[in-house]
């Protein structure tokens, strides 16, 4: 099957945050001593982009960027002027779709109204607030630097500045959280009328403070009850679930994350950023990731030392790589899309599909890869069925 180039996105990693949260396993680094070299970092982001453009010139030829996502860390530590400088640099280097979605992650404790005005003027048209909870006790236990009142004020300030596309991140199954507490968090989020809500279960990730000293978390049955009840509350409020942890008002699904979940392409620049690129001419899918520590990445500048790893995805691994994201989508994905984005025939995964359908994990539809309700609950097992 021919490999077709999917939509292209750009992920930009901003690695610093005010304080590392005890549950966080992202490549984030708390502020210590001297302020980080924000301006130099932005200049090196553009140098990193230039180097990737040169390395992948053939695969990028004629392609536009459809979404940009500033993740972290806390990207809102960077002044609007620096975000504007970076986005101007991107426009000089790559075609940017006229309706490109440009998202900036923000911590409610690091922004004020003037910055929202500046980010909007710079071209950021979507904000994602890391709220996590509206319970001040839970926020303290999660190590967050904001209060519930500050979170609500920050969202309203962004709306007053003109933002009409806002995501709120919420967690559930928090330390000693009750079902009523989880539902109250959802109700307070909905009251702010964001266009999108991401609702994640708190999990203990390796190499985090919570993994070393686990807090008392709800058991699996209580966590599942919270998930089901919150799904129903979000649906009743007009937020349709389109991915395991993502809920949106009509027409407000996150384009950037959808591109990930549908095995789209993305350049990843900045310390520890990951990227994935398809080359239709060679039929190759490559993954590249950057050196993780900000200081080491910056010292390497645009040289080869900025690259932490670079490899083609083996054909035997492509089905698992594809399903790892695509099966998270509630509506499923067309089988034809699997073929176009992996270059593999559907017959390659026929045995795994048959096993999953026999167990009731996948709908019996040869044209659609679609998990059933049971498959959603046992998604890790479904995905594992596609390991070579």
Mean per-residue pLDDT pooled into runs of 10, the chain (388 residues): 91 95 91 91 98 96 97 95 98 97 94 88 98 97 95 96 97 98 98 98 94 94 96 98 97 98 98 97 96 96 93 96 96 95 95 96 95 93 93
The pLDDT value given to residue 113:
74
Question: Which CATH superfamily hosts domain 8-259?
Answer: Aldolase class I (3.20.20.70)
Note the pLDDT of residue 2.
84
pTM, 2 dp: 0.96
Distance separating alpha carbons of residues 19 and 34, to the nearest angstrom = 14
CA dist list (Å): 67 to 29, 91, 157, 262? 25, 12, 24, 14
Angstrom distance (rounded) from CA 100 to CA 79: 21
**Would you state the pLDDT for residue 322?**
97
User: Where in the chain are the domains?
Assistant: 8-259, 318-384
Q: Within its chain, how far is the Cα of 161 from the centroid? A: 24
Cβ–Cβ < 8 Å for 223, 172: yes
How far is the first Cα of the chain from the last one, in angstroms, to the nearest whole number?
19
Give the pLDDT of residue 377.
86
The CA distances from residue 210 to 21, 140, 141, 142, in Å, are 9, 13, 10, 9
Instruction: Identify the architecture of domain 318-384 in CATH.
Output: Orthogonal Bundle (1.10)
- Pairing verdict, β 16-17 and 29-30: parallel
Q: Does residue 13 contact residue 27 with C-beta atoms inside 8 Å? A: yes
Distance CA 190, CA 182 (A): 13
């Amino acid at each position: 099957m021919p490999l077709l180039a999917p939509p292209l996105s750009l992920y930009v990693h901003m690695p610093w945050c005010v304080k590392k949260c005890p549950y966080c396993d992202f490549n984030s680094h708390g502020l210590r001593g001297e302020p980080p070299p924000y301006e130099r970092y932005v200049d090196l982001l553009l140098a990193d982009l230039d180097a990737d453009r040169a390395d992948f010139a053939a695969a990028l030829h004629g392609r536009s960027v459809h979404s940009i996502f500033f993740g972290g860390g806390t990207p809102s530590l960077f002044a609007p002027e620096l975000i504007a400088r970076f986005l101007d640099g991107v426009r000089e280097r790559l075609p940017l779709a006229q309706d490109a979605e440009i998202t900036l992650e923000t911590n409610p404790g690091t922004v004020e109204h003037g910055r929202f005005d500046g980010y909007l003027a710079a071209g950021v048209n979507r904000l994602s607030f890391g709220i996590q909870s509206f319970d001040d006790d839970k926020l303290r236990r999660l190590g967050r630097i904001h209060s519930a009142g500050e979170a609500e004020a920050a969202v309203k300030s962004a709306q007053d500045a003109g933002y009409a596309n806002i995501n709120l991140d919420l967690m559930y199954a928090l330390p000693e959280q009750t079902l009523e507490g989880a539902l109250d968090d959802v109700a307070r989020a909905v009251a702010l009328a964001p266009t999108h809500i991401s609702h994640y279960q708190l999990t203990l990730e390796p190499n985090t403070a919570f993994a070393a000293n686990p807090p008392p978390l709800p058991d699996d049955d209580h966590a599942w009850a919270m998930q089901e009840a919150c799904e129903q509350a979000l649906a009743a409020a007009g937020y349709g679930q389109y991915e395991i942890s993502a809920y949106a008002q009509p027409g407000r699904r996150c384009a950037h994350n959808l591109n990930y979940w549908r095995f789209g392409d993305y350049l990843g620049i900045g310390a520890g950023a990951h990227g994935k690129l398809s080359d239709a001419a060679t039929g190759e899918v490559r993954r590249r990731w950057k050196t993780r520590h900000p200081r080491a990445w910056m010292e390497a500048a645009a040289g080869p030392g900025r690259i932490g790893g670079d490899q083609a995805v083996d054909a035997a691994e492509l089905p698992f790589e594809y399903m790892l994201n695509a099966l998270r989508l509630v509506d499923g994905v067309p089988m034809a899309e699997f073929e176009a984005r992996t270059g593999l025939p559907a017959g390659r995964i026929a045995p795994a599909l048959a096993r999953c359908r026999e167990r009731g994990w996948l709908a019996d539809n040869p044209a659609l890869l679609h998990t059933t309700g049971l498959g959603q609950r046992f998604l890790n097992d479904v995905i594992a069925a596609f390991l070579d």
